[in-house]
Structure 1
Amino acid sequence: MNTVAEVVTRAREAQSAYESYTQEQVDAVVTAVAWAGYSNAESLAELAVQETGLGNYEDKVRKNRRKTFGTLRDLKHARSVGVIDENRARGITKIAKPVGVIAASTPITNPAATPIHNMLVTLKGRNAIVLAPHPKADGTCGTLVRLVHQELHKVGVPTDIVQHFSLKSDDKAHSKERLRELMEAVDLVLVTAGPASVRAAYQSGTPALGVGRGNVPVLIDASANVEDAADKIASSATFDYATSCSSENSLFIEESVYVTVLNALQSRGGYLVSREEKTLLAEALWKEGGLNRELVAQSPRIVAETAGIDATDAKFFLVEEEGIGKAFPFSGEKIAPVVTVYRWRNFSDAVQTIQRILEYQGLGHSIGIHSTNEEHIKVLAHRTKVCRVLVNQAHCIGNGGDFANGLDFTLSLASGTWGGNSTSDNITYKHFLNITRLSRPISATPPTEEELFGDYWDNFGHDAP
């Protein structure tokens, strides 16, 4: 097993050579990595399911391909080498330079798609990347890196610009220590993992980019196209058995269309649990105060069998709820094909309840709304502390970028200071560039005191200095 010093030394040597590449050469490297992931989407998906036991093969194939394809689309014509912007009026020229060596901690839920994206956006800036996957996804990442190296050989770049750093060990403390050492040795850390890993990155002393916790609430009002909303929610909430932090976790449905929406969801495979079944489902999903790891991202059939519910044909579960907080576990993130359902009468109250949900879990991440009421859409966006509000979209499909919206493709969704992160963006290549601003003299155009203070003086008066 390689030491941190060995891996980082090789990464620095490779990055030093890579730093001299032109934009055209960098784009060839990025495309090579994308092709390695895209062309091997099936085998990587199969390996991911076999190794982690999470999600399902078909959706992981789709995810591997779509995220890689979309990210490459975003990067295709983006400038990331040398002069990337010139503003003659302000006399400012922006020059892009590498960050250096980046460590990426990647999750068990997306063992191929996330590392592929991480490689694409970091290599676009002429950086080197060291991938440190979750120990239970180590084999998938190792295989992916070998496939990437095969393509990098073709374009003649030093393959050590991409490395796999194993954290696999029988001793969890040893794994954490290796990750800590890696974080301290690099120039920037990217963490797409749980809150503990994000905190470790921020405490490492190295600049870090982290992601926030998901727990997506989605509002549906009477103006919504119910059939369209039901189609999108059913497809999104079940995708890859809810491995995504962007999966719908709760629905807030206006009372006048409550039954109609539930019927539409049930016609698409949703199973509305009874009170007794709700208790059984809760006992199965949560153990000793936390999520039951045995049911994370498992099929509805396994969830039903474990809970003792006769619903083996269900595609997802609907659970009616009223409360929020620790005493009401269904109000939190489930990472399972289970969607909590709330009923509302007053829109303002519904918005406040959604904010309470977020404050319990998921603050800063994202919310959705199915509506044609522009006032509702605007109010929800203005009054909730989230970084993304998706309108009439399948949430887990669109939140990390989609060809049908303007969000950047990513698998790393930051949640701003609300979620304990340093940015509120969809993390992409721009976060892995250092920018030099070349400033030239321009004609001085200072404002007058009247221009700056005039309105204030008119309203409040002033004493002459």
Structure 2
Amino acid sequence: MSVQILRHQQSNNPDLPQAAASAPGQTAPTVAAIVARARQAQREFARADQATIDTAVAAAAWAIMEPARNRQLAECAVADTGLGNVEDKIRKNYRKTLGLLRDLHGRKTVGVISQDAQAGITEIARPVGVVAAITPSTNPAATPANKILNALKCGNSVIVAPSPKGQGTCELLLSFIHAEFARAGLPADLVQMLPTPVSKLATAELMRQADLVVATGSQANVRMAYTSGTPAFGVGAGNVASIIDSTAALDDAAAKIERSKTFDNATSCSSENSLVVLDAVYKPMLKALAAVGGVLLTSTEKARLQALMWHDGKLAGQATGQSARRIAELAGLERVRDQQPTMLLVEETGVGREFPFSGEKLSPVLTLYRAADLPAALDCVARLYAYMGAGHSVSLHTANPRQALQLGMELPVARVIVNQAHCFATGGNFDNGLPFSLSMGCGTWGGNNFSDNLGWRQYLNITRIAVPIAERVPDEAELLGDYFARVGQ
């Protein structure tokens, strides 16, 4: 089916119900109207050829990558959410989308995608239908764009449920996507969002009515997705720890940690939250961190920072996504503020609710732990993840990459990132082989049903055709002979 054949009346058709904010009693019908338009568009899109599918992906990608629109989105995101900074969001919007385009380029997602003559199996790609994309305020343009591209690549329509703070940015993104769709002759109803103001009630209703939910953001949203009655992919909590062993190139490690921890003011779930440093290099590592702008707080300053960042045991919003200097100002840390810090460093020994710095901070605040040796470092990280962040990932700076295998075998993590700036590497980067994504599956450790970087395969159904092949019945001895030899028959 060509792009032109797909052209039809857009959502300003007076015969189609319009999305509008509604009273609570009207939430279900309002969401149903949006879903109905998405289904109508998706049914036609599901018959499209690969070229049309790829045109839709390219249109949505260029909507966020085009420099002027990218800047508008970044400026809107910072103005609306108060999180992060414009220049880093511009880089994130561009690089994450470009990387995903690389991953999707040339992928066949229409019709027969695999044939195995020996096994007699043919695989056919099938869309999942209408995707509900739940997105956070930390990345109000990049995350929706990532999910939209993946959904479109697999022949789906998508409805975004942004966070309340991110809804203005999402509206702007969709206006850009719809402008590109109009140029390409594609139906606008393939990509929609909940009407503003976005409510929890509407988000929950969308989850119930969609065919698939992909949820990124708070664990409350993820739990709501899992209990919606609709098949769902959700992500786990972040609380990344990084191990600095005695062979690490300390200056290089400190520079990479600073780049990662300060990028977009640490709004990424993949930013380092704790460093576990071996005793042999603890003092030199402190010096290396100081050289890149890390300022170590005194115990009194640490207490004042804790009072700012946590209220009644919960992470407060004042410091989230702010620069280290701004956080120092808010906490009344004049000595620290005057040093123009890039990161605020606090030393800690305990783990758990009574030690809030052991958890995720979503700010350029880094917690330091000491460990006698690598086994002690692994034990410290395991305790951190037993409290928060299990399944996500761990970072290792070392000259002995064989140690990464030990981390991968022993720690409850889906990713081990070796000698890299963690927040860039975990979600895919141009210098590693991980898929580009802003949604990290954390496996059963993190309460998730997958441990991959959320990507296009999660947005696809596969139908398998099985035809008869020559019978292959194995010999019993071939399969059980070793067992019988070891324990008897």
Could you state the TM-score of these two structures normalised by the residue count of structure 2? 0.92
2:302 — aligned with what? 278
Q: Secondary structure at the match of 2:52?
A: helix
- 1:219-255 CA distances to partner (integer Å, 9 max, x unpaired)? 0111111121111100001110110000000001111
Asked if the contact 2:257/2:421 (under 8 Å) is kept, the reply is: yes
Q: 1: CA distance between counterparts of 2:186 and 2:270?
A: 35
Q: Secondary structure at the match of 2:463?
A: strand
2:128 — aligned with what? 99
**Greater shift in the superposed pair: 114-123 or 86-95:** 86-95
Q: 2: CA distance between counterparts of 1:380 and 1:181?
A: 41
2:13 — aligned with what? none
- Mapping 1:68-217, distance limit 5 Å: 68-166=97-195, 168=197, 175-217=199-241
Q: Secondary structure at the match of 2:367?
A: strand
Asked if the contact 2:401/2:418 (under 8 Å) is kept, the reply is: no
Asked if residue 256 in structure 1 is aligned to residue 280 in structure 2, the reply is yes
Are the structure 2 counterparts of residues 303 and 442 from structure 1 closer, same or farther at C-alpha, using a change threshold of 3 Å? same
- Mapping 1:3-402, distance limit 5 Å: 3-39=30-66, 40-166=69-195, 168=197, 175-310=199-334, 311-312=336-337, 313-402=340-429
Q: 1: CA distance between counterparts of 2:236 and 2:103?
A: 23
Letter in 2 for 1:28: T
Q: 1: CA distance between counterparts of 2:360 and 2:44?
A: 44
Displacement after TM superposition at 1:432 (Å): 0.6
Letter in 2 for 1:330: F
Letter in 2 for 1:64: N
Letter in 2 for 1:443: A
Displacement after TM superposition at 1:396 (Å): 0.4
2:17 — aligned with what? none
1:172 — aligned with what? none
2:476 — aligned with what? 449
Asked if the contact 1:135/1:166 (under 8 Å) is kept, the reply is: no
Q: 2: CA distance between counterparts of 1:434 and 1:380?
A: 34
Percent of residue pairs identical: 48
Q: 1: CA distance between counterparts of 2:106 and 2:298?
A: 53
Asked if the contact 2:204/2:224 (under 8 Å) is kept, the reply is: yes
Gaps of 5+ in 2: 1-19, 22-29
Q: 1: CA distance between counterparts of 2:192 and 2:45?
A: 14
| CA RMSD across the alignment | 1.0
Asked if the contact 1:132/1:167 (under 8 Å) is kept, the reply is: no
Gaps of 5+ in 1: 170-174
Q: 2: CA distance between counterparts of 1:412 and 1:347?
A: 29
Q: 2: CA distance between counterparts of 1:167 and 1:265?
A: 44
Q: Secondary structure at the match of 1:282?
A: helix
Displacement after TM superposition at 1:167 (Å): 5.2
Q: 2: CA distance between counterparts of 1:459 and 1:68?
A: 54
